[in-house]
Structure 1
Amino acid sequence: MMLFSNDIDALRRYAEPPSSPSAEPLCNFPLPWYESFLKRIVELNINVVTYRDLFNGLDDFDHVNSFPVEYKHWTKTCPKDRPTLIIQHDVDKHPFFTQRMIALEHIYGIKSNIFMFVQPPGGKERKLAYQIDHEFFIEAEKLGFVIAYHQDALQLCDFNLEEAAGRFVQDVNHLRSIYQRIEFVVPHGGRGGEWNGQQVFNYSLGIPPDLHGNIRWVYNKYGMRMARRWSDGGLRRSTDTKLLKKFDIMNDFLETLKPGTRSFCLVHPQRWGFHLDTAANPILEAQPWYQKVCTTYGEKCAIKKDN
């Protein structure tokens, strides 16, 4: 199903819970909570922008120094009377979960940045499950969403840095054959490996020379200057009690953003759905705010409490 900019009912049906929530993949947060997050963004009059908005008309590709020209330009032109927010989605699994989020964002007039694999890391089963509805995302791009490359080339090449540079270029060119503009890249976190006796990760692979000056690395190791950051990455393995105690994306993040500043949130769509695994992280499960979220927004969700 494609997006239709003036059919709110169709968009809302698109994000409705499935007939059997327990049949869909497990997640950490109820999707209705994300809609509440979007609604609150509108109520607070937060200025939501895309990476393309921030770089419009600028010739700054200096990711190593956090894009100094872009930042100087932003400080002069940003709205001083309200916060600015950039929303990023890394499509690591279950692309349909991202489509549901985009449908909700479009209802509220919010545009996000979507980073997708050409081929996901992992075994055959994961590759088969990673089915991109390109028609949907092409329509989203036309409506102002940014489609970008989630770089896992090093992992796909078994951490061979020399081979991975070619795979990086190949993946970007493939996405550019489908979408109008692929201008941004973010390395996938994922697992690391060894190359020439050194531990390497996807972010160890720099932008290949063929792509210098036409793609920007905006997050993970390098990135843009932000006042605040929130991310649900690495959530299942986190043992940081202090972090998880103040991990509420609404009250501990959104409500604290200050006028004249810009902040960033990385939302992995596969973590937001209708089949909650509340026991995935026992420390998170024990937090009162998380318990309240699951109770308040989990009415239409199936809950799996045992791993």
Structure 2
Amino acid sequence: MNKFHGTGVAIITPFQTDGQVDYDALGKLINYLIEGGVEYIASLGTTGESATLSSDERKKVWEFTSKAVNGRVNLVAGIGGNNTLEVVEQIKAFNIDGYDAILSASPHYNKPTQEGIYQHYKAIAEVTPLPVILYNVPGRTGSNISAETTIRLANDFKNIIAIKEASGNFDQLNQIARDKPEGFLLISGDDPISLPMIALGGVGVISVVGNALPRQMSDMIRTCLAGDFKSAQKGHSQLIDFTRLMFVEGSPAGVKTALKYLGICGDTVRLPLVQVSGTTADKIIEETKKITK
């Protein structure tokens, strides 16, 4: 599954000032990411504000994204939720044209047991026409996919090919890296720890920062994957302050501020998210100038 090695970007959904999806800006952003050297794009994950899009809007965004990418890079669709039956039906109805995998976040809010999480993904694995990337993000879902459950799913279902890990728990990451079956991919879901995760055996990142800085992020990740961590540290260090600012007032408001400065799209987000404060926006713009000059 080398197609998911390197830098994937959890692409934002640009909105016009009236809140409607800005398809012109989305096309511009897709070209910007591809020209920036990313290996793949993940459409309508958390960063894409998928929770605030209607089912019709999601369908249109997926179709537009597939056509705009046009096979130039690999493409992943974010399809998840806390109603297993509904997720299964969404996956069965999904138009897979142009897509290479499904990224599915662990159920939020319900706080299922590990057996519940296993059964949720089992139901997905049994119907999906595409490979599945698990997504563990306890800070958003309220529950953790344990290392044991990840390994169990990886062993039991050959079409579950990877996990996007954003727990930040290095004991858990160590265990997954040690015990996973050969070919199962460990992908960073947390920009700041991508370098050490690759050192543990990770194969790359699905990035938020890469929306604004695709060249810098993808170059750093490729350097890591080549085993030159000393050189990669320079790029990693350059991104530390920028990355922190991306999340200080919530994502994707931070990265949309940087993209607005770069002239890619506007910074409109949908409620309950709001734009970053003026003070934070000034800091983001200053840091963006510093990195892209």
- TM-score normalised over the length of structure 2: 0.43
Higher relative contact order (CA 8 A, sep 6+): 1
Larger radius of gyration: 1
TM-score by length of 1: 0.41
Q: Which has the higher helix share?
A: 2
